[in-house]
Amino acid sequence: AGLGLGLQPRGRPLQPPRPAELLLLLSCPAFRAHFARLFGAEAAEQWHFVSAAPDDEVSEEEEEDQLRALGWFALLRVRRGADAEGEERGPALAVAPLGSVAKGAPLLACGSPFGAFCPDIFLNTLSRGVLSNAAGPLLLTDARCLPGTEGGGVFAARPAGALVALVAAPLCWKAREWVGLTLLCAAAPLLQAARAALVRLHPDSAALAALLPPEVGTPRGLPLRDLAPPWASAAVLVECGSVWGSGVAVASRLVVTCRHVAPRESARVLVHLATPKSVAIWGRVTFATQETSPYDIAVVSLEEDLDGVPMPVPAEHFHEGEPVSVVGFGVFGQACGPLVTSGILSAVVQVDDAPVMLQTTCAVHGGSSGGPLFSTHSGDLLGIVASNTRDNSTGATYPHLNFSIPVTVLQPALQQYSQTGDLCGLQELDRATEPVKVVWRLQRPLPNAPQSKL
Amino acid sequence: MGRQWGPSMRSAEQAGCVVSASRAGQPDVGSWSCSGVILSRNPGLVLCHGGIFTPFLRAGSGALTEACVAFLPGDSCTDDLRLHVQWGPTAATPAGRAEQGRPGLCTPQC
């Protein structure tokens, strides 16, 4: 049976395929509107959502079909099996209301890579990530999904086991770079659309509509709040002339970002807060490291206080393997709130027993530079994201290998400057030792040359 | 995975399924398939992705981008559409057959 292996690779045998009929095709207008805003118009050229099986050549026409169908879903009625009476109903599925899952909250995606190609092996494969961003019912997660998982369910840990969304496009490519994010359509508005469509198309289908799973918990009409964890609010968008990137508030009038975002000292900078939205404060670059410094850092002093923005606690220790989160304005910039991606602290590189570089497995994209790297559990600030990785020979970019400047390198100088206005500590960053430079040039450290005896 | 994922894993396992679409009488043309979510059992209601239906749309995929069209009736697809849904073991039913795998994927040494 199945693969002819005579084995049951995933426990008990699968159910035999059951015939079904199409009741209706449906889409969520709000999803399509947000999709057009974030991925349409001039951005359309950059984005591709091809979901083809590996050996399929995808023609332009097919790609256009896939794009048109991206936000569409289908409601099917499954024919009753011969022993329907004996079938278990299983636990009732519950749906999370839109907005009830916080940005950065863990999610579990469940889909079957390559669809019905090899269900014995791939049916209901799980993948974990977090809710990375949300624009109405258009959600993004960094849980890795593959072609064939379109339509698969995405579940939350809280409310426990609730269906949050369905996969709309597993692979997103921006400017031919895989961004490591999966596009989702929130389940609650989709099922509301299904209910409305069923009643209009099949007037006698009230019983069918009643079968659609209910939303759990919160009464309707709650205002959609940005539920990101408090530490995520410290991330800001930094705009300096035509260049923009991310940054993090470290004191009531102090923001740290990368030099390549705000390179010129005394240049005017506009800092956009994530919460409250649409608040922007002018500032000026009071320090930026030299090009020769391995620490790509700039400091911006603001003309007003950052009211209501929680200041992150700088970490003092780093633990390889600990869960971490990156918050930044990569991928969408100002078109969307900050993006949260999750991973682990994959390496802490030290020189003379002092951490000088952090690496993570979070997805980091262009525009994330200058943003904060947090410990997911404590919310402590671990570092400032400086770059991801590009293979110069192939031009390929690797979002999930990235480099941050440990906060322990910066904290004493930032504190000194914040309290006294003295830049001496920060200027030390321009005098980093050669071994630190070698590390940040991703070069192998030179072995200690044997001294000549002569 | 930690205890916090218990309920989600159970929900995912119970609700997860695959949906395949093919043309009646043309099994050799192959099928289109995707994942789905079982919304209700007995009677069975499944929600899956709409992408596998574009080859069957009578009016072509353009019908999906018409303004103010948020849903289409089932008969917007051609009559030769055949759908099958398959899910994991949930009930004591006779052993099933899985569709034979197609060559195309391998596990290269890396």
pLDDT tens for residues B19-50?
Answer: 999 999 876 677 799 999 999 988 899 999 99
Indicate if A260 belongs to the active site.
yes
Give mean pLDDT, residues B77-83: 95
Cα dihedral A299/A302/A305/A307 (nearest 10)? -70
Q: For position A224, what pLDDT does the model report?
A: 42
Whether residue A128 and residue B1 make contact (CB cut-off 8 A), yes or no, is yes
Picking from A202, A30, A44, A59, the residue whose alpha carbon sits closest to that of residue B55 is A59
The predicted model gives B4-9 an average pLDDT of 84
The DSSP secondary-structure symbol of A89 reads -
Other CB atoms within 10 Å distance of the CB of residue A441? 9
For A368-382, the pLDDT digits (tens) are 999 999 999 999 999
Q: Tens digits of per-residue pLDDT, B50-61?
A: 999 999 999 999
pLDDT recorded at residue B47: 98
**Structure tokens belonging to residue A69:** 């169908």
Residue with tokens 């009559």, as numbered in its chain: B79
Give the pLDDT of residue A54: 42
Residue A340: pLDDT above 60?
yes
Residue A16 φ/ψ region, left for φ over 0, alpha for ψ in the -120 to 50 degree band, beta for the rest: beta
Contacts of B80 in chain A (CB under 8 A): none
- Chain A nearest C-alpha distance from B60 (Å): 9
Mean pLDDT of A234-247: 93
Say which range, A134-138, A181-185, A200-204, A428-432, has the weakest mean pLDDT: A200-204
Give the model's confidence band at B91: pLDDT under 50 very low, under 70 low, under 90 confident, else very high: very low
Active-site hit among A368, A369, A375, A404? A369
Overall average pLDDT of the A55-68 stretch: 78
In DSSP terms, which residues pair with A87 in a beta bridge? none
Distance CA B33, CA B46 (A): 14
* Cα–Cα distance measured from residue A258 to residue A250, given in angstroms and rounded to the nearest whole number: 14
d(CA A212, CA A193): 11
Mean per-residue pLDDT of chain A: 87
Tell me the C-alpha distance between A311 and A147, whole Å.
Answer: 41
Q: Which of A27, A112, A142, A296 is catalytic?
A: A296
Beta strands in A303-429 (DSSP E): 323-328, 339-351, 354-360, 372-375, 381-390, 397-406
Confidence band (pLDDT; 50, 70, 90) for A15?
confident
Distance CA A60, CA A228 (A): 39
Active site (annotated) includes residue A369 = yes
Interface A-B: count of C-beta contacts within 8 A: 316
The minimum CA-CA distance between B110 and chain A, rounded to whole Å, is 17
State the pLDDT at residue A276. Answer: 67
Cβ-based contacts of A68 with chain B (< 8 Å): 54, 61-62, 64-65
Question: pLDDT of A380-426, one tens digit each?
Answer: 999 999 999 988 888 888 899 999 999 999 999 999 999 999 999 99
Q: Do A65 and B70 touch (CB under 8 A)?
A: no
Give the residue among A385, A278, A290, A265 at the shortest CA–CA distance from A335.
A278
Q: Which of B1, B37, B52, B61 to mutate to test the interface with A (most CBs of A within 10 A)?
A: B37
pLDDT digits (tens, 9 = 90+) for A110-131: 999 998 888 888 999 999 999 9
CB contact under 8 A, A149 and B101: no
Tens digit of pLDDT for each residue in A72-123?
Answer: 999 999 998 766 655 556 667 899 999 999 899 999 999 999 988 888 889 9
> CB–CB of A149 and B35 under 8 A?
yes
Total number of residues shown for chain A: 454
Phi, psi (5° rounding) for residue B75?
-85, 15
Please tell me the predicted confidence (pLDDT) of residue A431.
Answer: 94
